Amino acid sequence: MPSLRDVAKDLATAHRRADSATNEVKFFPDASKDEVCLLEVSAAAPTTGEIMPFRFRADMASGVSYPSVVILVSPREWQDIQAGKLALPGGWDLTAAEDL
């Protein structure tokens, strides 16, 4: 069974390929023990001013062994997150996040 981190890396690669406007992918290893938690910054995302996590189910057939939660933000929203103006869900600790 691959680790959450392994699946996170695979997802990051796949998501970058699918959306070439994705310029940052952060993995939050401590946010959940059984879900891959990713924050992705894409210039293709509209700036809504909201954090809207979206949950995908696991897809064993495609090698995605865990459910995943993706927070997609625009570059402007990413700036607001870094500036503390936009809050991530509880447990999503930016200081512990890993670049993928």
Binding site for another protein (CB under 8 A): 11, 14-15, 18-19, 40, 42, 44-46, 48-57, 62, 69-70, 72, 89
Nearer to another protein, 2 or 49 (CB): 49
User: Which of 4/69 has CB closer to another protein?
Assistant: 69
CA atoms within 13 A on the CB side of 74: 9
Judged by CB, which is closer to another protein: 72, or 97?
72
Q: Give, for 53, the enclosing helix (H) or strand (E).
A: none
**Closest listed residue to residue 38, CA positions, set 10, 62, 72:** 72
CB of 70 to another protein, least distance (A): 6
CA gap 88, 39 in Å, rounded: 9
* Closest approach of another protein to the CB of residue 42, in Å: 6
- Cα separation, 3 vs 13, whole angstroms: 16
